[in-house]
Amino acid sequence: MKYLEEKELVWLNSLLSSYDIGDRVIKGRIEAFSCKKTASDRKLAKSLEQHYQQEISETQYSPRVLENNDTVEHKPFENPQNTKSDLSNSYTRILPSAQSIGALRDAATRKLLIDLITTMNATFPDYDFSSVQIEQFYKEKSSHVALNRINYHLAEMMDSIASKEAVEGTNVSVFADKMWKAIARIIRPEECEVYSYIPDMESDPFSDGNLWSINYFFHNKRLKKILYVTCMCKSITCDDMDDEDEMMDDVTEDTTEEDIDDTSDDYFGMSNDWEDGA
C-alpha cells in the first residue's frame, strides 16, 4: 500500500505517539494509504493467495469453513483467558451486530483480507502480520459505530488536551476538531466500509499489557484509499518495562563478546454527546 502523507495527520500523530493520562499512556496513529500496491505488496499478495488457496483445498470438506457473511455468534463471555474465541465473544458483547468479512473461498474476500494485512504491515514495518487469521477481522454495520468507539476511547485524552488548551485561553479542543475534520476530508467516512481487527493476545506484538486497543480500517472504494486508526492504552509501569526491554534488546544486538570483556568495569463538527461515546 502506498503511504499518503497528510499534513494534518503528522501533527495528530505527534500527540498520539505517546500521551500520558495519570497512570496510563495512550499510543496510536492514524495513517492513510492508497490501495495501489507496491512491488513488495504484490509479492506478499501472491504468497498469501497461494497460502489461502492451499488452506481452502485442505478444508473444503471441513465444518471449519466459514459461511459467507455469517453473523458473529453472540455468546456470553464465560472465560477471561486470552484466546481468540474469548476475544471474539468479548467483542460481540460490545458490538453484537459485527459480521465476518466473508468467506475465504471468495476471491473478493481474499483480496480484502490481503489489503488489510498489507496496510498493517505498511503501518508497522518492523512486524509481519501475514499470519493474522480471517476470523480476527470484522465488518462494522456503519462508519458511525467505529467513529463513536474511537471517540469513546479517546475522550479522556481529548478532555486532557482541552483542559490544557483552556488554561492557554482556547475554548475548543484543537486536537478533537482537527482529528474529526482530517478524517472527514481524507476518507469521507460516510462513503466507507469499515473493518475492525481484534488481535490474538498470544501472538500480537502489541497486545501484552494492554488495557484496551482499537483497530479500524476505513475503506473508501471510490477514492481507492484506506485510513487505518490504531490506538492502545497501557499502564505507565507496563510501558516503562516495554521500553527497558527494547533498550536491552538494542544493547544485546550491538554488543560483541569483546565489548563485554572491555566493559567489565563500567468531526468533523461533532456534537457534545460524542464525548461520552453516544
Residues in Cβ contact with 268 at an 8 Å cutoff, skipping those fewer than 6 apart: 180, 181, 183, 184
For the chain, the structural domain boundaries read 2-276
Q: Give residue 220's pLDDT.
A: 98
Q: Give residue 80's pLDDT.
A: 33
pTM listed for this prediction? 0.74
The better pLDDT of the pair 249, 33 is held by 33
Give the 3-state secondary structure of residue 173. coil
- The model's pLDDT over 147-180, given as tens digits with 9 standing for 90+, comes to 999 999 999 999 888 887 666 655 556 888 999 9
Confidence at 67, pLDDT banded by 50, 70, 90: low
Alpha-carbon distance values, 99 to 71, 134, 176, 186, 254 (Å)? 5, 12, 29, 26, 46
The better pLDDT of the pair 67, 110 is held by 110
Asked whether 222 and 190 are in contact (CB, 8 A), the reply is no
Confidence at 84, pLDDT banded by 50, 70, 90: very low
Any idea which of 60-69, 200-209, 221-230 has the lowest mean pLDDT? 60-69
Q: Give residue 203's pLDDT.
A: 65
- The model's pLDDT over 14-43, given as tens digits with 9 standing for 90+, comes to 999 999 998 999 999 999 999 999 999 999
Alpha-carbon distance values, 15 to 93, 178, 202, 269 (Å)? 31, 12, 28, 21
Backbone angles phi, psi at 180, to 5 degrees: -65, -40
Above 90 in pLDDT, residue 207? no
For the four alpha carbons of 162, 168, 174 and 175, in that order, the dihedral sign comes to negative
Above 80 in pLDDT, residue 100? yes
Above 90 in pLDDT, residue 13? yes
Above 50 in pLDDT, residue 86? no
Fold classification of 2-276 (topology level): Protein Transport Mog1p; Chain A (3.40.1000)
Q: Give residue 269's pLDDT.
A: 47
Above 60 in pLDDT, residue 270? no
Asked whether 155 and 275 are in contact (CB, 8 A), the reply is yes
Q: Give residue 95's pLDDT.
A: 53
Interatomic CA distance for residues 231 and 92, integer angstroms: 19
DSSP string computed for 121-159: HHHSTTS--TT--GGGEEE-S-HHHHHHHHHHHHHHHHH
Above 60 in pLDDT, residue 254? no
Residues in Cβ contact with 174 at an 8 Å cutoff, skipping those fewer than 6 apart: 161, 165
pLDDT more than 90, % of the chain: 56
Look up residue 165 and give its three cell numbers: 488548551
Confidence at 255, pLDDT banded by 50, 70, 90: very low
